[in-house]
Amino acid sequence: MRKFIGPSILTISLALGLYLLFLLYTTGQTMLACAGLGVLTLTAWIFTSARAYAYRYLFPGVMAVLVFVLLPLVYTVSIGFTNFSSKNLLTFERATDYLLDETQRTDSSGYQSTLYGDGKQFRIKLERPDLNESFLSGPLALRRAVPLKVELTPFEPQQAAALGQPLSLRDIIGLQASLKMLTLVMPNKIELRMLGLREFGPIAHLYVALPGHALKSVASGEIIKPNFKTGFYETADGTQLEPGFKVNIGFANFVHIFTDQAFREPFLRIFLWTICFSLITVATTTGLGMALAVLLNWDALKFRGAYRTMLFLPYAVPGFISILVFKGLFNNNFGEINLVLDALFGIKPAWFSDTTLAKCMILIVNTWLGYPYMMVVCMGLIKAIPADLYEASALAGAGPLTNFFKITLPLIIKPLTPLMVASLGFNFNNFVLISLLTGGRPDFLDTKLPAGTTDLLVSYTYRIAFEDSGQNFGLAAAISTLIFLLVAAISLVNMRLTRMNRN
């Protein structure tokens, strides 16, 4: 019985994978479906072929790296070379179809509509008393809001008995989404669309397709051509029609980062602040953690266990909770920190509105969050130092400062350096701290693009992609690529230092 469990799981997994690939293919993602089919084929071969038995244990890990690490990385970098934004979300084909589907009401009068149904099947009756015209549709499901063309036939009086009672306005409102997707075609081929809850009327398309991807305005006869450099259909005078479409623009986003004055000013300031923030944080967390580690390794200190527990608590509490607590403590009007400062010195600093104070607050909070890790690491490194060195130093009459600078620091700084470099890379992308504490604010007052004085590159990228600047995903991806290169360089330095330590 047990020998059938593995093949059964593999068969079910492959069948589920094929079904998901079929759904991808039906949505137009042909390339992604083909790539997935290749992965499924490789999976089936590895887990069924005796020659590939050795790869069965390696394959899941490799696929996880490809899917969760390499694929998002490649996709993000590729977006950086496009104009992908809130105005250029669609492909060229979908943008074209959208414009061709745009309609407007004609001057003709509409038809009064009445909806009949029993909850499963529905029929629409159209009437125009002034022309003595009535039409009736065939049975409709109206279960999903999908585009649907329905032929109408002339209404015969004897059909009235089979229709039953008309639906109420409340029922029509519930089916409104499906009704809006209907196109009713009259016997003379005139198309009708929903104009109101009880009215259908003739509609006319705004544009018609021409050879060579061009469109023609029905009202003015103007020719509208796609511009594959800007990603918009444009008229002769340069007017752009929305929605736009996604196109490849090469290195334009990267050039924009360094050449556009409106963007370059906040970018350079934020870049310098990001570097300063990362360096100062590493210095303060390492310095404080090392000092506390030295104190806690002092044999004459009583209650060392209690002190260690209390000093380690900031690392045990989830970071986002600590950040929100500090946000309340630093509140300008009701925070405990300002209440104490006001009682002692008569001052109430504006932590969130003053640029310098906001940056100091961020550094204080991040030091609180980061020092326990460095403290624990330094405590372990100090424990590894031979006690004979300190005994010899004591016999020579050296004091605590001499022991620290001549023995402790030289012996722990080398293994500690890779961790400091890793901490530098982490704080370079410390999005959670900025997002929860200040949101990047206060904003610069002399820039055209919204940018915060406490923004790091990663939070600034988030604002560009999802909040401000028209949700420019392509530009945000370009900045993310630069951040990745910087962090990758830091990681290479870290690996280099680790290799040197081993030697």
Task: Quote the CA–CA distance of 359 and 459 in Å, as a whole number.
Answer: 14
pLDDT at 355: 93
pLDDT at 469: 54
Token pair, residue 415, equals 């293994």
155 has a pLDDT exceeding 60:
yes
Confidence band of 391 (pLDDT split at 50, 70, 90): confident
Exposure string for 134-143, b = 16+ CB within 10 A, e = fewer:
bbbbeebebe
Task: Quote the CA–CA distance of 412 and 342 in Å, as a whole number.
Answer: 42
Contact 92, 100 (CB under 8 A): no
- Residues written for the chain: 503
Token pair, residue 430, equals 């410390």
Cα 80 from chain centroid?
A: 14
218-245 confidence digits (pLDDT tens): 888 899 999 999 999 999 888 899 899 9
Task: Quote the CA–CA distance of 104 and 181 in Å, as a whole number.
Answer: 14
pLDDT at 390: 84
What predicted TM-score, i.e. pTM, was given to this entire model?
0.72
pLDDT at 438: 93
273-326 confidence digits (pLDDT tens): 999 999 999 999 999 999 999 888 887 778 877 888 888 888 888 888 999 999
Contact 235, 222 (CB under 8 A): yes
pLDDT at 468: 59
454 has a pLDDT exceeding 60:
yes
56-100 confidence digits (pLDDT tens): 888 888 888 888 888 888 999 999 999 998 889 898 999 999 998
Give the strand pairing for 240-241 and 111-117.
unpaired
pLDDT at 106: 74
User: Comparing 46-55, 257-266, 280-289, which segment has the lowest mean pLDDT?
Assistant: 257-266
Confidence band of 265 (pLDDT split at 50, 70, 90): confident
159-212 confidence digits (pLDDT tens): 887 887 889 999 899 899 889 888 898 888 888 888 888 999 888 888 999 988
